Amino acid sequence: MIREFFSNRTKRTIMLMGLLATGAATLFCCGHINEKKTVVINEVCGNNFSAYENDAGEYTDYVELYNSSDKDDKRVFYLSDDRKNLDKFKVEDIIPAKGYLLISISKGEDGGFGISKSGEPLYLSDAGGKVIDSVALPALSYDVTYAREKDGRGGFTALSPTPGETNEGASVVDYRFIEEPVFSLEDGFYAEGTKLKISAFPWVRIYYTDDGSVPDENSHKYKGEISLTDASAKDNVYANEIMYPTYKPPKHKIDKANVIRAVAVNKFTGRKSKVATHTYFVGFDKKDAYKDIDVMSLVFDPEDLFDYDKGIYTLGKKYDEYKELGGFTGLPDSEVPGSFTDADGNTVSRSFFTNSELKGREAERRAHMTAFDASHEDSFSQNIGVRISGESTRFVFQKSLNLFAREIYGTENRFDQSFICNNEKKVRLRKGDGNILYQEAFIQSVMGDIGIPYQESRPEVLFINGEYWGIYNIREQYDDNYFKEHFGIPKDELWAEKNNAAEYGGAECDENYRTLIEKICYYDMSDDEIYSSVENEIDIDNMIDYYCMLMFFADLDIDADHNRFLFRSKEPGYGECGDGKWRFAAYDLDVTCEDPAFDIVEYYREAGDGMFLPGYFYNRPGFKERFYQRMVELTENELSYESLSKKLTEWDGRYRTQSIETVRRFENENYSEKDYEKKLAELDEFIKTRKEYVLESLKNDMENN
């Protein structure tokens, strides 16, 4: 159990182990108990997702106590959810005068309890076993507290969280809802003039919006059926939001869907329903650009994306911090430099100073998702969590997004339907990089063709709050579900290293991986015993294939600590890829295929120790021949121009139209099909001529090392 003390703005954290009471008689010896009720329960959160992170990095339930007296309180207290067993958690820390004690609550090996998300009583008792305060907690949504509106006194209500601070600035949160309004149409694709009806119980008024914003009593009042038309004729709204200083909103009206959000309000009690959200694509039957392609609608509270303080898709407060640091506050954005050198001689880049740099739980935003298949007839909807993903995409215009299915959003911890892999709980909408937006996904699929584990993806057109947001690759993720579904490796047996750090398996995994890399780099591979031990720890064929692919496609954005992913099962016994050997998986291949004549092997050699792993095996008899012949074999088959050109033509057919429109939407209003074909021809020329150069590069390296 963790406790934090707050007096004014000072915080201190102490770790406890959930000690149990030693007996009421002993506790009475601690001193006289003041009968005056000065310490009370002030705030409780039993469904903490991102409201409070304790000093141990945990998001647990928490209880806040408040001392209303003018003196520090040194008494012993207990917290419990059971009136017959009051001494579950011992509270023996000083509570500062007019201050707060924040207590992190969780079940542990030494006892304790967890606060039920469905509601339960909570008791605060003294050392004599007397209940001095209690509260009956209702069922609340995540990151909502049950707290006193005025510190230390008055009744409880649902409030926004203020752990360790006064409750008097918190917002009241609705937690008792009436029935949602009912829509006559499911989400879908409809013809112009389709009529939508919205109904609710008697004595209820319905208010709605048609721009994705959250409806309230100031929104459109529903008076009768709504005739749906193609919303593309409306002015752009969210596309005009400036998410980076160099972004220029499109001048043309982008395609739009009808997003209708409605709330019911009882006209006598004022109680509201939750917001009902539906998305309708009207007139899209006449738009060939969307034929036979998956479409997704994400609807957010606009403030969650574009608010100055909390919006995750905007310049926001973080950008003003950059301007203040550089002394650019009075300059227009067009004159603010992209970087500056601070007083210590360090380069400060604008790229890392937008709200999109916000990460972790605190930067996850709720969204209503509707996903349509390529026929646009089958769809499913659910509430999900969304975060900005990746590194470089945070400061570009079209940003990659991670989508999370979680119980806190009212569903199971998985998506109601699978996108690619069974039982998915996280997928990524990955923006395209490079000259051809699908180039990275294309290369991953080629790697998959020869048996390298890869992230399968498919094209997905995205609309945010009804506005066209371009084409993405919806992609499965390297999480525990991926390795369980594809290779049968359970989570507790999974070890994975991403960017030279343990993703799964912790310190034990990290130590095993680093020991292996050190052995490869600094031990003599010509020694049979050493080589045999390495061969038992890493799949040599997988390593060779992986590097052949990197070399052929000339991956320039990789080194020993960056954009590299390996995995294994902790113990053997889980199939071909669960034999306890490390294997490389395809990962982040954005900077590739730039110059067919580029000497990639020399580039990898210069990247430092641990990068070009095959080079450390050169003194192993027969290894050079094995490596070179595998590259020849691949360039004559899966990496031949005939094979790659055929595959590229298929991908072009799926992506061409939407790729062009995405560039027009975000980058260049005048981008044309001719421009696209020029870039496609460059990629085609690369795969046509690359074989000669990569074989020569590898041969020269083997002769000189």
According to the model, what pLDDT value does residue 4 have?
52
Q: Which residue type does 410 have?
A: G
Task: Mark which of 143, 169, 195 sits at the end of a domain.
Answer: 169
37/71 same-domain check: yes
Mean pLDDT of 68-88: 94
86/148 same-domain check: yes
557/635 same-domain check: yes
CA atoms of 393 and 264, how far apart (whole Å): 39
Banded model confidence at residue 107, pLDDT cuts 50, 70, 90: confident
Length of the chain: 705
How many of the other CB atoms lie within 10 Å of CB of 144? 21
With beta carbons less than 8 A apart as the criterion, state whether 180 and 168 touch. Answer: no
User: pLDDT (tens digit, 9 = 90+) per residue, 201-237?
Assistant: 999 999 999 999 999 999 999 999 999 999 999 999 9
341/385 same-domain check: no
With beta carbons less than 8 A apart as the criterion, state whether 395 and 401 touch. Answer: no
128 located within any domain: yes
According to the model, what pLDDT value does residue 113 have?
86
What percentage of the chain has pLDDT greater than the value 90? 89
Place of tokens 């992209």: 338
436 located within any domain: no
Count of domains in the chain?
4
pLDDT for 34 beyond 90: no
- CA 160 to chain centroid: 23
160/283 same-domain check: no
User: pLDDT (tens digit, 9 = 90+) per residue, 681-695?
Assistant: 999 999 999 999 999
Rg of the chain taking only CA atoms, in angstroms: 30
275/327 same-domain check: no
pLDDT for 27 beyond 80: no
What percentage of the chain has pLDDT greater than the value 70? 94
Q: Which residue type does 499 have?
A: N
473 located within any domain: no
User: pLDDT (tens digit, 9 = 90+) per residue, 568-624?
Assistant: 999 999 998 999 999 999 999 999 999 999 999 999 999 999 999 999 999 999 999
273/346 same-domain check: no
Mean pLDDT of 358-363: 94
Task: Mark which of 116, 145, 169 sits at the end of a domain.
Answer: 169
15 located within any domain: yes
How many of the other CB atoms lie within 10 Å of CB of 359? 13
According to the model, what pLDDT value does residue 128 have?
93
599 located within any domain: yes
Mean pLDDT of 51-56: 93
With beta carbons less than 8 A apart as the criterion, state whether 250 and 470 touch. Answer: no
362/238 same-domain check: yes
Mean pLDDT of 629-634: 98
364/320 same-domain check: no
Mean pLDDT of 402-417: 94
Domain around 333: 316-353
With beta carbons less than 8 A apart as the criterion, state whether 63 and 149 touch. Answer: no
461 located within any domain: no
Backbone angles phi, psi at 662, to 5 degrees: -65, -45
Place of tokens 């034929």: 291
CA atoms of 699 and 695, how far apart (whole Å): 6
User: pLDDT (tens digit, 9 = 90+) per residue, 541-568?
Assistant: 999 999 999 999 999 999 999 999 999 9
Which tokens hold the place of 312?
């995750």
CA atoms of 436 and 440, how far apart (whole Å): 8
pLDDT for 3 beyond 80: no
117/130 same-domain check: yes
pLDDT for 303 beyond 70: yes
Residues forming beta bridges with residue 561, ordered by sequence position: none
477 located within any domain: no
Banded model confidence at residue 390, pLDDT cuts 50, 70, 90: confident
Residue from 45, 63, 109, 113 nearest 84 by CA: 113
Task: Mark which of 409, 432, 451 sits at the end of a domain.
Answer: 409
41 located within any domain: yes
pTM for this entry: 0.91
According to the model, what pLDDT value does residue 235 have?
97
SS3 229: coil
59/192 same-domain check: no
